């Protein structure tokens, strides 16, 4: 009899423990597992820099014959992008960055995002790549100026007040938020990343966001002149043009960069 009662009691206890464990795991267990496994509180779902409507500058001119052929369009788009990346191309004066963040905890709060300058050098003058705008540029939600001693994001409507001083972003697991940011820099050539501060389960964690190819984001100010000038080729890629022609295009679209 006692053995039978002990068996019944053990089954009841195991069932009760199972219910408690299941409730705990559903509420917090996955967070604990992710934390022990070293999983970050948020994941980066997408990173992009918009070069489509923005003039860009190469840090050094393209002199290798193979690289020049790729730049002029005699190669795939990925090969051409690799050449541009090696020459440290950077948007001119403004980098428009889009980042999609995904929650990786049952509940978390993004309390701050800051652009962090990694490299500051004289402005690039290797080559100017001129885009002709096709239409209106989309609205930028957040803006930061790397020329400031302590860059921070603000809304485009009120650049004097830090965005994250007034507002934080709450996320749940698998919930997404899209941030569209405009980072300007006119005084120098900058390489930077984004430093994100997250509060999850009363713990503050930080992580960095890099560019689409895991290299730093870049932006450069305008040089007095460039060693080469290019514009978009109708056949794809880029075609070299003279400085006079480049300046004529810039004046036509109401820009005077490098002229």
What pLDDT, on a 0 to 100 scale, did the predictor assign at position 20? 47
Position 136 confidence tier, pLDDT thresholds 50, 70, 90? very low
**Which DSSP string do the residues of the chain spell out, in sequence order?**
-HHHHHHHHHHHHHHHHHHHHHHHIIIIIHHHHHHHTT--SEEEEEEEE--TTS-EEESS---SHHHHHHHTTSS-HHHHHHHHHHTT-EEBSEEEEEEEEEE-SSSEEEEEEEEEEEEEESPP-SEEEE----SPPPPPSEEEETTSSS---EETTEEEEEHHHH--EEE-TT-EEEEEEEEE--SSEEEEEEEEEEEETTEEEEEEE--TTSSPEEEE---S--S-EEEE-TTSSEEEE-HHHHHHHHHHTT--TT-
The stretch 139-165 carries a mean pLDDT of 85
Indicate whether 28 pLDDT > 70: no
- Average pLDDT along the chain: 84
What pLDDT, on a 0 to 100 scale, did the predictor assign at position 235? 76
Indicate whether 25 pLDDT > 50: no
Which of 77-81, 98-102, 125-129, 188-192 shows the lowest mean pLDDT across its residues? 77-81
Position 10 confidence tier, pLDDT thresholds 50, 70, 90? low
What pLDDT, on a 0 to 100 scale, did the predictor assign at position 57? 96
- Residue 201 or residue 107, greater confidence: 107
Q: Is this prediction's pTM over 0.85?
A: no
What pLDDT, on a 0 to 100 scale, did the predictor assign at position 53? 73
What pLDDT, on a 0 to 100 scale, did the predictor assign at position 178? 93
What pLDDT, on a 0 to 100 scale, did the predictor assign at position 100? 95
Position 21 confidence tier, pLDDT thresholds 50, 70, 90? very low
């Amino acid at each position: 009899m006692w053995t039978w009662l002990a068996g019944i009691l053990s089954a009841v206890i195991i069932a009760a423990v199972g219910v408690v464990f299941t409730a705990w795991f559903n509420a917090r267990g996955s967070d604990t597992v992710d934390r022990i496994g070293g999983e970050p509180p948020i994941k980066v779902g997408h990173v992009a820099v918009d070069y489509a409507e923005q003039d860009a500058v190469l840090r050094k001119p393209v002199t290798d014959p193979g690289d020049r052929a790729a730049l002029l369009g005699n190669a795939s788009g990925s090969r051409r992008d690799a050449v541009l990346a090696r020459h440290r191309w950077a948007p001119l004066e403004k980098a428009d960055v889009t980042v999609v963040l995904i929650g990786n905890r049952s509940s978390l709060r993004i309390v701050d995002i800051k652009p962090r300058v990694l490299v500051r050098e004289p402005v690039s003058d290797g080559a100017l790549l001129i885009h002709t705008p096709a239409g209106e540029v989309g609205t930028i939600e957040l803006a930061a100026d790397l020329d400031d001693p302590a860059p921070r994001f603000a809304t485009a409507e009120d650049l004097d007040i830090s965005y994250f001083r007034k507002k934080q972003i709450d996320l749940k697991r698998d919930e997404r938020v899209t941030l569209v940011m405009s980072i300007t820099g006119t005084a120098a050539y900058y390489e930077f990343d984004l430093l994100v501060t997250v509060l999850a389960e009363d713990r503050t964690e930080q992580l960095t966001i890099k560019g689409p190819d895991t290299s730093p984001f870049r932006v450069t100010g305008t040089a007095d002149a460039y060693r080469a000038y290019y514009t978009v080729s109708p056949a794809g890629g880029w075609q070299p043009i003279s400085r006079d022609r480049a300046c004529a295009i810039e004046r036509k679209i109401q820009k005077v960069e490098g002229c």
